[in-house]
């Protein structure tokens, strides 16, 4: 086991009710994600600088922890943050490209978009030919999601 993983385990255990790693992992779930534009502005519990931050919340004691999208996969076997960040990067480079399903579902879960917008996007995200109105709505949703991921609340007092 590498020192990064040991450091991550130590930090998660210190914020958990359980002292057993397997049980402690079950206390945590993904709360939200955010993106830092500058490398090194944020740090994972494993002590690596990160740009793609995943905020975990302990369901038993309410504590939060910030980990990078690489460590969240090692810790929770989650692919969701990685898929969301991939869509974010793709749309940031070319706003005409569609977000993926994971990003749209996440945006709805966070109340960034409503049910109608989620349904619209999921119905059209793979379409190649769209009307001007559909393209405009996609761009509007893309811009909103990009803005929200960049400006998501940063946890305090971790």
At 36 the pLDDT is: 83
Confidence category of residue 5, pLDDT binned at 50, 70, 90: confident
For range 140-155, the mean pLDDT: 86
**Ranges of each domain in the chain:** 3-77, 81-151
Give the pair of three-digit tokens for residue 68.
């990078």
DSSP conformation letters of 108-152: HHTTSS-HHHHHHHHHHTT-SS--HHHHHHHHHHHHHHHHHHHHP
Q: Are 8 and 25 in contact (CB under 8 A)?
A: no
Q: What is the pLDDT of residues 42-94, one digit of tens each?
A: 889 999 999 899 999 999 999 999 999 888 887 776 778 889 999 999 999 99
For range 92-118, the mean pLDDT: 94
Q: What is the pLDDT of residues 126-135, one digit of tens each?
A: 998 999 999 9
């Amino acid at each position: 086991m590498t020192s990064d993983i040991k450091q991550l385990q130590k930090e998660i255990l210190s914020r958990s009710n359980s002292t057993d790693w397997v049980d402690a992992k079950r206390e945590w779930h993904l709360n939200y994600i955010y993106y830092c534009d500058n490398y090194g502005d944020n740090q994972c519990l494993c002590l690596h600088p990160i740009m793609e931050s995943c905020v975990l919340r302990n369901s038993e004691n309410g504590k939060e922890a910030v980990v990078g999208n690489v460590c969240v996969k090692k810790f929770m076997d989650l692919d969701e943050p990685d898929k969301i960040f991939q869509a974010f990067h793709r749309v940031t480079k070319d706003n005409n490209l569609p977000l993926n399903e994971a990003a749209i579902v996440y945006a709805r879960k966070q109340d960034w978009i409503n049910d109608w917008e989620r349904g619209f996007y999921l119905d059209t995200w793979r379409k190649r030919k769209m009307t001007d109105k559909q393209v405009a709505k996609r761009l509007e949703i893309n811009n909103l999601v990009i803005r929200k991921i960049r400006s998501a609340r940063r946890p305090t007092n971790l």
